Chain A
Amino acid sequence: MSNQATKSLSLTRRTLLATGAAALATPMLSRRAFAAPTELTMLAWFGHAEPDVVAEFEAANNVKFVPKYYSGGDNMMGLISQSPPGTFDVILSDAEYVQGLNAAGYVEELDPNDYHLDEYFPEFQKFPGNWEGDKLFSIITRFGFLGVAYNTDALTPKDVDSYNVYWDEKLKGKVGHYDWHLPNLGQLSLLMGNEKPYDIDEAAWSALKEKTMTLRPNVGGFFDYGGTFSSLKNGQMLAMAGIGDWITGVLQKSGAKVASHIPQEGGLQWSECFCVGKGSTKADLAKKWIQYITSPEGQVKSAEMAAYPALIPNEKGWDLLNKVDPAEAKRQGMTKEPGNAMDMIRAGKIKFREWPVQQDLGTWNDFWLEYKAA
């Protein structure tokens, strides 16, 4: 009985060992059949390397994106400057920082012939900052407008047709700021009638500061990305300066009663561009990614990105979006109907968000800190 038990145990042990060895060997065998995906590092705002955007490309090219998300252009510049060359294969940058990337030599030159820029609307084929003379360093892939974000239960599009709504008595303590000086001061600069909101002389800068300070009593708070979402969603803030559809579009999808409107004084444009990091050992794959994301198929993914939606510069991308998701195309104004997003740009209602031209960036930031503390 005892011997039998031992024999049985011995057999079991053998079987177990054999099964274990087979199990351990399986990944090695499957590795032969399927090569491990190539890792491609991406430095970007949150959302750009999420499955809803990259899954199709990853599957088609056996690639796995390794994202490093940043929060703000300064943060991005800091991360690049403190990392050895080649750390990031693909870099997504706000347009105002692209020139800085070029100047510091952080990005590789691109060959314009590799990309279908002819599919882009003419306004974006020679997008400022993407080119240095005839040399291409980055490509705009998406953009959006910044206007007045508002609660549709409390305000109407007519109410928010001027930035003066921020001073409305009934909004006391209900006006929020997205906590970044550039879009907020840019909007108020438009209100002051500055044709180029970021290229203003000292007199206009002083007037802008004075006007901005008068808004402070109406302000209910300064919010980061998460705080902006929650304060608009729970109705704590009824109007929000410095943002646009990139936040209200996401909230609308979750049923929040919010919207964005470009007032009569005009709106600002944020733009995001892709480039290849200097020293990338996978530059060919990075190029392939930029080709994909600037193609009509990639552009549709970009327009519908779950983290935050955006307008797209590829005209064929507009056509495809109208075919596959006409509701989203209509919601974002990417139809061929009059008054669409391109018409607003062509009518001169939209100005680029950029770094201040006649003042130092630090000067604007210092004033913003004073304004917050006032």
Chain B
Amino acid sequence: MQRSVSIYGLTFSLPLLVWQLLFFVFPLFFLIAISFWTVKNFTMQAGFDTVNWQTMYGRAVFWQAYGTTFVLAAVSAVLTSVVAFPASYAIAFKMSDTARRWAVFLMVIPFFTSYLVRVYSWQVFLSDNGIINVMLGWFGLGPYGLLNTVGAIFVGYLTLCLPLVILLQLFSLVFIDRTLVEAAHNMRCGRLRTVFEVVIPSARVGLVIAALFCFILSFGDFVSPIYLGGSKASTLSILITDTTKSGQQWPRAAVIALTMIGTLMVVAFLAVRFAYKGRTK
């Protein structure tokens, strides 16, 4: 049976379509076009030349940055999900409605301040003369090199992603059918086993989507690798700035950006497929 297109339906769907066309599809096509342009005397020349793709894909630096970025983002997604889960579980299952509302409010508060400012403030804690090392010094420990390390980058990623991941996990956990949990307990399933056998499978979609968001945000993040990692771990976002900074090579930067978009699309597709695997309509 063919579904008719109503004005009512269009009213709600058109803005989304227009938004997607204006801010995603058109810029994407423009980005693809730019990747075939060339740069002469710091000016972009329109044309069709595959030299930028050949140059970037032929360089070890690019693939090294790609690998670093992918691994950092994947570890960030797993780490953040693991750190977030106990918090979101406690909020969903152990707190009263009022306490839960406050907890959600507290998760939203970090978004009131700039991520850049929050990352900069971490430098005060992590530097050699910073708060953490001073406190460790009271016990005769340190100082330890905490800033400009991979560990510091993950601190930045957690700052960026943790509140969002907790919220996404929470929205999934609160909708779990409580009778399933009670049934598991009635069948003498232990608390921990119930979490792994009932709660996590029931909330799988939300948990995977939360991890996916964390991966996407970490994969494209520029601030933490620069200001907490000291640019020592060269990521794709740093490579983009380095490429544009010298010689105004925007076409080469477009190649990197398109590769990032392509990677994120594949990862998102696989993640969503995994999340809904085995589900029936």
Contact = CB atoms under 8 A, between A and B. Distances in A.
A372 B127 contact: no
A100 interface: yes
Interface string A211-250: 0000000011111100100110011100000000000000
Contacts of B230: 176, 220-223, 227, 231
A82 B120 CA distance: 33
Interface in B218-233: 226-227, 229-232
Contacts of B65: 373
Nearest to A82: B43
Contacts of A224: 226
B259 interface: no
B192 to A, nearest CB: 42
Interface string B40-78: 011100000000000000011100110000000000000
Interface of A is mostly: helix
A171 to B, nearest CB: 13
Interface string A337-365: 00000000000000000000000011001
Contacts of A134: none
Interface residues of B, number: 31
B227 A373 contact: no
B242 interface: yes
Given A77-B42, A81-B42, A234-B123, A361 B231 contact: no
Contacts of B59: 366
A104 B129 contact: no
B123 A230 contact: yes
Nearest to A373: B234
A173 B246 contact: no
A235 B248 CA distance: 33
A373 B147 CA distance: 18
A220 B61 contact: no
A103 B61 CA distance: 33
A236 B123 CA distance: 10
Given A74-B245, A74-B248, A104-B41, A221 B128 contact: no
Contact of B232 (A103, A222, A361, A365): A222
Contacts of A176: 230
A234 B232 contact: no
B232 to A, nearest CB: 6
A78 interface: yes
B247 A361 contact: yes
A181 interface: yes
B246 A362 contact: yes
A81 B232 contact: no
Contact of A373 (B61, B123, B127, B245): B61
Contact of A78 (B128, B231, B248): B248
A104 B230 CA distance: 36
A74 B61 contact: no
Contact of B231 (A179, A180, A235): A179
Contact of B61 (A82, A234, A370): A370
A27 interface: no
A55 interface: no
A103 B42 CA distance: 12
Contact of A236 (B42, B148, B242, B245): B148
A104 B148 CA distance: 41
B110 interface: no
B245 to A, nearest CB: 6
Contacts of B229: 221
B239 interface: yes
Which of B42, B61, B147, B234 counts the most chain A CB atoms within 10 A? B42
A361 B246 contact: yes
Nearest to B145: A173
Contacts of A77: 41-42, 248
B238 to A, nearest CB: 8
Which of B120, B124, B227 counts the most chain A CB atoms within 10 A? B227
Given A74-B247, A236-B128, A369-B242, A223 B231 contact: yes
Nearest to A72: B245
Contacts of B247: 74, 361-362, 365
A281 interface: no
A131 to B, nearest CB: 21
Nearest to B43: A81
Given A234-B127, A361-B247, A100 B231 contact: no
A196 to B, nearest CB: 22
Given A219-B232, A221-B230, A234-B127, A373 B64 contact: yes
A219 B147 CA distance: 13
A176 B124 CA distance: 18
20 contacts: A74-B42, A74-B246, A75-B248, A78-B42, A81-B43, A82-B43, A173-B148, A179-B231, A180-B245, A220-B148, A221-B230, A222-B232, A223-B230, A224-B226, A230-B123, A236-B127, A368-B246, A369-B242, A372-B242, A373-B234
Interface of B: 41-43, 59-61, 64-65, 120, 123-124, 127-130, 145, 147-148, 226-227, 229-232, 234, 239, 242, 245-248
Interface of A: 72, 74-75, 77-78, 81-82, 100, 103-104, 173, 176, 179-181, 219-224, 227, 230-231, 234-236, 361-362, 365-366, 368-370, 372-373
A-B complex: 10 closest residue pairs judged by Cβ atoms: A221-B230, A77-B42, A222-B231, A365-B246, A81-B43, A78-B248, A373-B234, A221-B148, A234-B127, A236-B127
